[in-house]
Amino acid sequence: MSIPRPVVNIGEKVYVISFDGSAKAKREGGAFGAIIWKLPGWTVEKAASGYDVDLTVNEAEYRGLLLALDLLNGLDVQRLIVCGDSNLAIRQLRNEMDCKALGLQLLRKKCWDQLKTLPKVELFHVRRDWNASADLIAGQALQRHAGMPIVEEQTLANLVTLNRLGELLDPTSGELTNDEKAQVLPVRTRSGTRQEAEQSVDEEIPPVESPSRHLTPEVLDEMVVKRIRMERIRESQDEESWIHNLKKFIRGDVTDMTSREASNCSKLAQQYEEDEIGLLFYHSRGDESAEDRSAVMKLVIPETLKDGILHHYHSSLEGGHQGIGRTYHRVRQHFHWPGFYRCVQRYVGECIDCETGKGRPTIRGESPGNIVPTYPFQVIAMDHIPSLPPSFKDNTELLIWVDLFTGFVVAKANSSRTAQTVAEAYEECVFRRFGASEAIRHDREPGFMSDFFRAFNQLMGQRQRVTLAYRPQANGAAERMVQTITRAIKMYVEDEH
């Protein structure tokens, strides 16, 4: 599957916009941030943030784009690349999604009016973690309830450090020629249209060239990024009154607290602890020993950061658009906040990609014929996911193995389904890591039933347990994993037709 990508000529002057918006629940206020990047070099030309009351998240995203377009005044813009993590705003501006809310229609019209005045414009939806720089200044504006131009050198340096938009460019190695191109690839979910919609500026983007080494931002320093994130979480916690009061109560600073606030904190204090840098953690009841408490400590997430956490564990590539239960259990291993389950339930229930990309759940029941193992990798189930969109290595098949004891999954992408390919993939991904199993469960696919694969299993000393024809329930573990992986992949690819 090919997706049109813009490329950049060597020495071409290009401006990149990154914008983001954030809002509190119940329309209690919203903030937005915008950054103008200058290529080559990924230097910050201008950056600013804003704040307004009575904003939704989508309205804040549009306001962030409008702020970025205002920052372009005075700049000689010949070509502009707009990057945002708002799937709704980008798709509406690309005419891929209807805009029904009256408030958003007005904001979209304002954006269109300004974009049409520019010679060349490309709009791209990017992952949230690639847009961390704009997210940082939007979050800071939301915390202080005020926007401001970004001129402090340390803050500008932090924006460059957090910037990951350079990862949109294909990495190259060795000496580059004029024919080698650094390309910008938009990340799309399945909710994107089946065909490329007409750009709002109605212009074709001609392919031009540039080596990626001229467009790569400063390498991320892991410790610097960690420090920035910890400071942001601590500041966000201090902005929330109940967390701030609880920290003061734990430290013994109750002089400025009312009797009611102190009473409320005393009921919660035994379940919370503050670390040496001022972050508040939660531990479950019953884990009173020091060792257990350190093992189950969960970071307390304030209101302003909840959507970011849920986005990572549900909507991102790592999340895979799993359901309410799986998303809830994954998040609760590391984080905590009041009303946690209801928040996960609301977020997953409002996910557009899950609503449009998944069918009705099937009735759950036992799968007759499954084998019950007694230890890990005693019995594994095997199946294929065929006819996937071609990857960069032209792989179109995904072979999966599921350990029936632990549920551990191993997957291997291949370009064919022949018996030799299956045998080589099994030897590489399963046998080298876990050894041979007693039995391998699979359906009656020709590659699995071939003489070559039978001889391979005899060499390995493992039995083949073949299911009956038209009885996929007998290989239920593998079939269910095929469905789960297919749904996850489907969210991140775009249909060709």
DSSP 277-346: TS-EEE--TT--SHHHHHHS-EEEPPGGGHHHHHIIIIISTTTTT--HHHHHHHHHTTEE-TTHHHHHHH
Q: How many domains does the chain have?
A: 4
Mean pLDDT of 261-290: 79
Is residue 177 in a domain?
Answer: yes
Question: Is the CB of residue 57 less than 8 Å from the CB of residue 84?
Answer: no
Is residue 229 in a domain?
Answer: no
Examine the domain organization and report whether 353 and 473 are in the same domain: no
Examine the domain organization and report whether 328 and 453 are in the same domain: no
Among 175-179, 337-341, 344-348, whose mean pLDDT is lowest? 175-179
Spatial separation of the C-alpha atoms in residues 110 and 96, rounded to whole Å: 18
Residue-wise pLDDT tens digits, 441-484: 888 888 888 899 899 988 888 988 888 877 777 777 888 888 88
Examine the domain organization and report whether 247 and 133 are in the same domain: no
Residue 399 is predicted with a pLDDT of: 92
| Candidate ranges 133-147, 229-243, 407-421; pick with highest mean pLDDT | 407-421
Examine the domain organization and report whether 38 and 87 are in the same domain: yes
Q: How many CB atoms lie within 10 A of CB 346?
A: 13
- Tell me phi and psi for residue 14, to 5 degrees: -130, 140
Is residue 3 in a domain?
Answer: no
Is residue 174 in a domain?
Answer: yes
For the cut 60, the answer to whether the pLDDT of residue 199 exceeds it is no
Examine the domain organization and report whether 484 and 401 are in the same domain: yes
Examine the domain organization and report whether 307 and 281 are in the same domain: no
Is residue 366 in a domain?
Answer: no
Q: Given the DSSP bridges, would you call strands 280-282 and 298-300 parallel, antiparallel or unpaired?
A: antiparallel
CATH number for 135? 3.30.420.10
pTM for this structure?
0.45
Residue 21, SS3 per DSSP:
strand
Examine the domain organization and report whether 189 and 108 are in the same domain: yes
For the cut 50, the answer to whether the pLDDT of residue 103 exceeds it is yes
Helix 132-144 and helix 153-162, axial crossing angle in degrees, nearest 10: 140
Examine the domain organization and report whether 284 and 317 are in the same domain: no
Examine the domain organization and report whether 410 and 467 are in the same domain: yes
Spatial separation of the C-alpha atoms in residues 404 and 340, rounded to whole Å: 32
Spatial separation of the C-alpha atoms in residues 226 and 362, rounded to whole Å: 42
Residue 172 is predicted with a pLDDT of: 35
Residue 187 is predicted with a pLDDT of: 39
Is residue 122 in a domain?
Answer: yes
State the average pLDDT for the chain: 77
Examine the domain organization and report whether 125 and 139 are in the same domain: yes
Mean pLDDT of 97-107: 80
Examine the domain organization and report whether 332 and 424 are in the same domain: no
Residue 198 is predicted with a pLDDT of: 38
Mean pLDDT of 261-289: 80
Examine the domain organization and report whether 311 and 174 are in the same domain: no
Q: How many CB atoms lie within 10 A of CB 178?
A: 10
Confidence of residue 351 (pLDDT cuts 50, 70, 90): confident
Question: Is the CB of residue 138 less than 8 Å from the CB of residue 20?
Answer: yes
| Candidate ranges 42-46, 90-94, 350-354, 405-409; pick with highest mean pLDDT | 405-409
Question: Is the CB of residue 11 less than 8 Å from the CB of residue 182?
Answer: no
Is residue 206 in a domain?
Answer: yes
Is residue 463 in a domain?
Answer: yes
For the cut 90, the answer to whether the pLDDT of residue 313 exceeds it is no
Q: Which domain holds residue 294?
A: 241-300
Question: Is the CB of residue 228 less than 8 Å from the CB of residue 123?
Answer: no
Helix 340-349 and helix 324-332, axial crossing angle in degrees, nearest 10: 140
Q: What does DSSP assign to residue 240? A: S
Amino acid 282 reads: Y
Question: Is the CB of residue 3 less than 8 Å from the CB of residue 36?
Answer: no
Residue where a domain terminates, one of 284, 300, 316: 300
Q: How many CB atoms lie within 10 A of CB 401?
A: 25
Residue 293 is predicted with a pLDDT of: 53
Mean pLDDT of 269-277: 85
